[in-house]
Amino acid sequence: MLPETEHTDLYGGFYQANAALMQLFGHTDGIAAVVRGANGVCVWMSPLFSRLFKGHDALELPMRQAWPQLGEGTFRNIEAAYHSGRTTRLYELPVHDPDHKDRSSRSTKFYDLYFSPLLDRDGAITGVTISGFDVTDRVLIRSHTIEQQLLFKDITDAAGTALWTVDQRGNMTFVNHTWVQWTGHPYEDHMGRGWIEYVMPEDRDRVISTFIRELTVKNTFQLDFRVVRADGGVQWVAATGKPRYLSSGEFAGYVGSCMDITERKSYERSLQESERRFRDIADSAPVLIWMTGANKRITFLNKNWTSFASVPHLLADNGYLQSDLMHPLDHDMVLNTYEEAFENRQEFYMEYRMRHSDGDYRWIGMKGIPRFTDDNVFEGYIGSGMDITEMKEHEQVKNDFIGMASHELKTPITSIKAYVQLLLTIYAKREHDEFLMRSLSTVNKQINKLTRLITDLLDVSKMESGRLSLNSEVFTLHDLIKETVDEVQHTSSQHDIIYSGLPPTISIYADRDRIAQVVTNFLTNAIKYSPESDRVDVDVEISEREVTVIVRDYGIGIDTTEQAKIFDRFYRVEGRNEQTFSGFGIGLYVVAEIVKRHNGRVWVLSEKNKGAAFHFTLPISTDQA
């Protein structure tokens, strides 16, 4: 666009010399204009310049009047170029594109402007040329980068973890606000190697040597150390550093984090102190204390183990619970009990023999309790063992004495019973000797009780010494129960024993006399502990593999807290009502052991003052099943 004015001759040489350049500007995204004189009167502009700055109204007008939107900075640059004869620059001038309806960021472009003096043929400055280049992409990219940097800063500052970067020489180039807040010193103080000043003096040498070593080989590293806080306190941090590489593969330094682990360290110290106390207590305890993991392997043995057993054997254990030291006869029983307890996560107690460091076997009473986390995750077992050899020896002496005394008592008791029965027969028909008959009957009953007590004591002695044998045979359970009920019914006139019966074809393989002993005990107990009742029921239930016998009374009942103990040896229920009933507390222990030796189960269901139902099971004979 060539203006036709009176100044055409003055600038004709410029137009002719720069016609090609003007033509080129007309087809580019650049903007260009020519102004003359100190006031910057516009004499030419490129099409894009004209569109952006309403050029059709600007020709022959001073620049401040023609383009007020360019701003004072642009005008001063034009004047400086005109008066100094040197090119001046203005970077990233924002320009609104009038073709856009709104005023959004998309309607704004940015230009770098250059202002060069315009010379005539004689070298005199007659005006200024304005040229501009679109740098919008550069501005947007930088703006986006700044936004990302601000976002990164906001994210890192919001993090509760200290974040940092170092260059390839190990100099700190960035730390976030968390680290600055911890130390209470300005950001700049930590740059380079400044951060080392805030590491606890006792930890500095270790931190520096580790940092330099890992930096040299470019390894990922982890390091715990203490930091001096702004309040003068000490804070433990766990630092993690990871090597960083440029896209070219060149090593660029490290990026890493520091996490506050003060609470964890405090917990670890408490845990270590707790473990130390546990070890001190365990080592001072006069028992064998042990722990296992969830894999059944031993993880801890106290010092008493090392004084009890050979240390090399303890360390070379090939099984569980120092199985290499167990007596061969006890080995399988112990391991089976241990395996079953682990499977069911239940407590266990067992007695077995273990080889002492002097080479002799000694009896050990071992108890184990499963360990669980707060989340109920199984962690293994903790347990203790005690040398019970002397107790076993004393118990054997006691059992031998009970067995001997019971055996020696049987002979005179048998003689007394025979004479009493003879006297009962002689005086049975003499009506005038009623007192004598009652007295003899009372003596006979007491002899029967004494006989049962002696029998029970002998059975206990045999059980404890392992001499109780079973003479098993196949027999019909119905016949046995009926015979036993009839026998006990003859001795009790107050109670009716109601037996519901069962199919006479059900057979079991067991010791007939011992099973009769179990039923008799349950019946006599039911009669004894239900003095205000007049009935005892005997029921039988049959399943596919076993038969259950139930003896139910309607007497004083058993409290739930006592029910698990009544089958223990010499255990008697305490209470005002119970004290009126005689007994040593061995009858139920004997029958429970008899049932267990037949692979059966025994239990009781009862409520206080509402009677009791004693149950025992026996496997059905294989042929019958």
CA atoms within 13 A on the CB side of 600: 26
Tokens 């006691």 map to which residue?
398
* pLDDT at residue 125 in the model: 92
Q: Residue 151 pLDDT > 50, yes or no? A: yes
From the list 74, 179, 190, the residue with the least C-alpha distance to 130 is 74
DSSP 3-state of 395: helix
Type and span of the H or E element at 178: helix 177-183
* pLDDT at residue 624 in the model: 47
Q: Residue 305 pLDDT > 60, yes or no? A: yes
Q: Mean pLDDT across the stretch 295-324? A: 72
For 487-524, the pLDDT digits (tens) are 889 888 888 999 987 777 788 899 898 899 899 989 98
Q: How far is CA 107 from the centre of its chain?
A: 59
Q: Residue 176 pLDDT > 70, yes or no? A: yes
Mean per-residue pLDDT of the chain: 82
For 178-194, the pLDDT digits (tens) are 888 889 999 899 999 99
**Distance, CA of 260 to CA of 237 (rounded, Å):** 5
* pLDDT at residue 2 in the model: 41
Contacts of 589 (CB under 8 A, 6+ apart): 460, 567, 568, 569, 570, 571
Tokens 């594109």 map to which residue?
97
Cα dihedral value 203, 209, 210, 214, nearest 10: 160
Structural tokens at position 452 = 């049962």
**Range of 224-238, 391-405, 609-623 with top mean pLDDT:** 224-238
* pLDDT at residue 11 in the model: 46
* pLDDT at residue 223 in the model: 92
pTM: 0.44
From the list 506, 489, 531, 529, the residue with the least C-alpha distance to 614 is 529
| Number of alpha helices (DSSP H) and beta strands (DSSP E) in the chain | 16, 22
* pLDDT at residue 286 in the model: 84
Q: Residue 472 corresponds to which amino acid?
A: S
Q: Mean pLDDT across the stretch 253-258? A: 91
Burial class (CB in 10 A: 0-12, 13-18, 19+), 525: buried
Q: Residue 379 pLDDT > 70, yes or no? A: yes
Confidence of residue 122 (pLDDT cuts 50, 70, 90): confident
Range of weakest confidence among 46-55, 126-135, 613-622: 46-55
Q: Residue 616 pLDDT > 90, yes or no? A: yes
Give the CA radius of gyration of the chain. Answer: 53
Structural tokens at position 201 = 């003096």
For 392-441, the pLDDT digits (tens) are 777 666 666 666 666 566 667 777 877 777 777 777 766 667 777 778 77
More confident residue, 422 or 472: 472
DSSP 3-state of 451: helix
Confidence of residue 582 (pLDDT cuts 50, 70, 90): very low
Range of weakest confidence among 2-6, 352-356, 403-407, 603-607: 2-6
More confident residue, 159 or 603: 603
Q: Residue 32 corresponds to which amino acid?
A: A
Q: Residue 605 pLDDT > 50, yes or no? A: yes
**Distance, CA of 282 to CA of 60 (rounded, Å):** 105
Q: Residue 614 pLDDT > 80, yes or no? A: yes
Q: Mean pLDDT across the stretch 132-138? A: 90
Range of weakest confidence among 52-56, 296-300, 479-483: 52-56
* pLDDT at residue 549 in the model: 93
Confidence of residue 485 (pLDDT cuts 50, 70, 90): very high
